[in-house]
Chain A
Amino acid sequence: DADVTQTPRNRITKTGKRIMLECSQTKGHDRMYWYRQDPGLGLRLIYYSFDVKDINKGEISDGYSVSRQAQAKFSLSLESAIPNQTALYFCATSGGLAGVTDTQYFGPGTRLTVL
């Protein structure tokens, strides 16, 4: 089984709808991240969480919110989806050990289309 899973894998929705993307991990990592990927722009950080009580905005958080329900679960919500939020969304996790430069491990992604 995959260490980092994302649901749904594909989603088509309409402008103005509320959408939730979910991420679960079995790696036992403390840190979780949400990125979006657009052609030519690379991966950009939306939100990140270093533990259940810690939530931080990334470089493009406007229009998004997150919830860290448990150490292993981190969900991303689009409160009112708009077409320019059409993208590939990735969840990632890292170990977060103090003093260690940690590597991020990615889920398979969710392809979101907003019409």
Chain B
Amino acid sequence: EDQVTQSPEALRLQEGESSSLNCSYTVSGLRGLFWYRQDPGKGPEFLFTLYSAGEEKEKERLKATLTKKESFLHITAPKPEDSATYLCAVLVGGYQKVTFGTGTKLQVIP
């Protein structure tokens, strides 16, 4: 069974304090890994898609990386507006269905 595990469940940072969120996965035939940001009561907002081990993508203060077993979302010098839940999801080849992790709730304190 495909599994996606995100850690930590919650993370509290001071403004400017860099950190990383982890997404580990156990799947057969990874086609793609996705990162989303979700604000309370709103739909997930797409951030990145990673396709192969070694790939990296950046957007403002966020950088996503991918290995054969996990992905990291690095947050550099976060600001309070980065507070949200960050979701990781994987697409497995042959099924075209996405399995989501339960997310990491990030709080950035001024």
Contact = CB atoms under 8 A, between A and B. Distances in A.
Interface of A: 4, 31, 40-45, 48, 50, 58, 88, 90, 101-109, 111
Interface of B: 31-32, 34, 36, 41-46, 49, 51, 87, 89, 91, 96-98, 100-103
Contact of B46 (A31, A58, A103): A103
Contacts of B100: 42-44
Nearest to A101: B32
Contact of A48 (B46, B51, B97): B97
A42 B102 CA distance: 4
Given A45-B97, A101-B32, A101-B51, A90 B44 contact: yes
Contact of A43 (B32, B87, B91): B87
Contacts of A106: 36, 43-46
Q: Is the interface of B mostly helix, strand, loop or mixed?
A: strand
A103 B34 contact: yes
Contacts of B101: 42
A42 to B, nearest CB: 4
Residue among A40, A88, A106, A108 with most chain B CB within 10 A: A106
Contacts of B31: 101
A109 B51 contact: no
Contact of B43 (A40, A41, A109): A109
B102 A104 contact: no
27 contacts: A40-B102, A41-B102, A42-B87, A42-B100, A42-B103, A43-B87, A43-B89, A43-B100, A48-B97, A58-B97, A90-B43, A101-B51, A103-B34, A103-B46, A104-B34, A104-B46, A104-B89, A104-B98, A105-B46, A106-B36, A106-B43, A106-B45, A107-B43, A108-B43, A109-B41, A109-B43, A111-B41
Contacts of B89: 43, 104
Contacts of A45: 97-98
Contacts of A58: 97
